[in-house]
Amino acid sequence: EDQVTQSPEALRLQEGESSSLNCSYTVSGLRGLFWYRQDPGKGPEFLFTLYSAGEEKEKERLKATLTKKESFLHITAPKPEDSATYLCAVQDRGYQKVTFGTGTKLQVIP
Amino acid sequence: KAGVTQTPRYLIKTRGQQVTLSCSPISGHRSVSWYQQTPGQGLQFLFEYFSETQRNKGNFPGRFSGRQFSNSRSEMNVSTLELGDSALYLCASSWDRQGGNTEAFFGQGTRLTVV
């Protein structure tokens, strides 16, 4: 069964303090790994899709990377508006079901 | 371009009742997936529909069901509601390409409270 583990569960950063969120996964065959951002009371907002080890994608202060066992979401010089829960999900190649991790709740303090 | 629309946004029901939630996907998207989100369990996959057929199903009891119409709009139904069914129900649509899902875009969700 596919599994996704995100760490840490919660992260508190000072504005401008860069850090990384981790997503470890187990999947029989990876079709894609997704990162989402979720604000309280809202649906997840799509950020990135990564398909193969070594792939990297960037958007503003966020950069996602992928290895064969894990993905990292690097946040450079975060701002308070980056505060949210970040979700990682994997889609397997065969069954094509999408499995989500429980997320990392990020708080950026001014 | 309109996003995924879910109705209603909020719902309060009594134990034993049934409920129907609606989802209108992004125009052109043919795949619709449903998820249940609770603080303790995170996002749990319910089922996925593509071209009016259920393609994947999660580990939920038969009280949870869904369907998709020819215009790709989808509904999910929960019968005999239990207190534990209180959750945020999320719908996601994606443009299915060559048999595989691309990234999914979520609606704002329906907050269901069972009392």
pLDDT digits (tens, 9 = 90+) for A89-98: 998 887 677 8
pLDDT in the model for residue B101: 56
pLDDT digits (tens, 9 = 90+) for A21-66: 999 999 988 989 999 999 998 999 999 999 999 999 999 999 999 9
Nearest CA in chain A to B40: A102
pLDDT in the model for residue B99: 53
Q: Please, are residues B87 and B38 in contact by the beta-carbon 8 Å criterion?
A: yes
Provide φ and ψ at B84, rounded to 5°.
-70, -5
Mean pLDDT of B61-88: 97
Give the C-alpha separation, B58 to B112, whole Å: 19
CA distance B71 to chain A (A): 22
Query: B5 at the A interface (CB within 8 A)?
Result: no
- CB pairs below 8 Å between A and B: how many? 59
Residue A87 pLDDT class (50, 70, 90 cuts): very high
Structure tokens at B54: 């259920």
- At B83 the three-state DSSP class reads helix
* A110 has pLDDT over 60: yes
pLDDT in the model for residue A34: 95
Helix H, strand E, coil C: the string for chain A is CCEEEEECCEEEEECCCCEEEEEEEECCCEEEEEEEEECCCCCCEEEEEECCCCCEEEECCEEEEECCCEEEEEECCCCHHHCEEEEEEEEECCCCCEEECCCEEEEEEC
